[in-house]
């Protein structure tokens, strides 16, 4: 039996071996951008809370589904200490096709989602080092 197998079964003799109580469910990939993904949110919650990975994934997905359902039905979503997702209606307007400037294109009226940061987020953003973004 390998050392890993022994550790998982709790059969190890050395006190120098430290075990991560929650092994990472995902292979760690190098960070390609400054974006936070749903996968990273799930992983961060999983590592800091006492829930299994499947439950955390379902909770995060259901939360996002509820936000999506509310916004697509025309409701605003207010998350205290975070911000507000607001549905706004953009007026119909005339645009121009850059490839054919002589032709006008009517851009129809549509719903868009705007985000207004909450007080705590605004405070955090003022402390952000703008040169390292």
State the pLDDT at residue 25: 47
* pLDDT digits 0-9 by tens, 23-48: 544 455 455 568 999 999 999 999 99
> Lowest mean pLDDT: which of 10-19, 89-98, 109-118?
10-19
113 against 17, higher pLDDT: 113
State the pLDDT at residue 133: 78
Q: How many helices (H) and strands (E) does the chain have?
A: 4, 5
Looking at the chain, the whole-number percentage of residues with pLDDT higher than 90 is 61
CA distances from 107 to 86, 93, 97, 116 (A): 21, 5, 11, 25
> pLDDT-derived band of residue 88, with 50, 70 and 90 as boundaries?
very high
Measured in degrees and rounded to the nearest 5, phi and psi for residue 108 equal -70, 160
51 against 15, higher pLDDT: 51
Are the CB atoms for 98 and 119 separated by under 8 Å?
no
How far is residue 99's CA from residue 34's CA, in Å, rounded to a whole number?
33
């Amino acid at each position: 039996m390998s050392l890993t197998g022994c550790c998982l079964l709790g059969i190890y003799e050395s006190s120098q071996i430290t075990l991560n109580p929650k092994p990472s469910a995902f292979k760690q990939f190098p960070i390609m951008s400054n974006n936070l993904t749903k996968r990273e949110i799930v992983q961060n919650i999983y590592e800091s809370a006492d829930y299994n990975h499947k439950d955390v994934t379902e909770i995060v997905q259901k939360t996002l589904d509820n936000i999506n359902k509310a916004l697509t039905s025309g409701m605003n979503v207010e998350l205290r200490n975070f911000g507000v997702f607001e549905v706004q209606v953009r007026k119909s307007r005339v645009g121009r096709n850059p490839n054919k400037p002589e032709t006008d294109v009517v851009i129809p009226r549509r719903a868009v989602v705007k985000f207004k940061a909450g007080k705590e987020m605004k405070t955090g953003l003022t402390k952000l080092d703008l040169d390292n973004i």
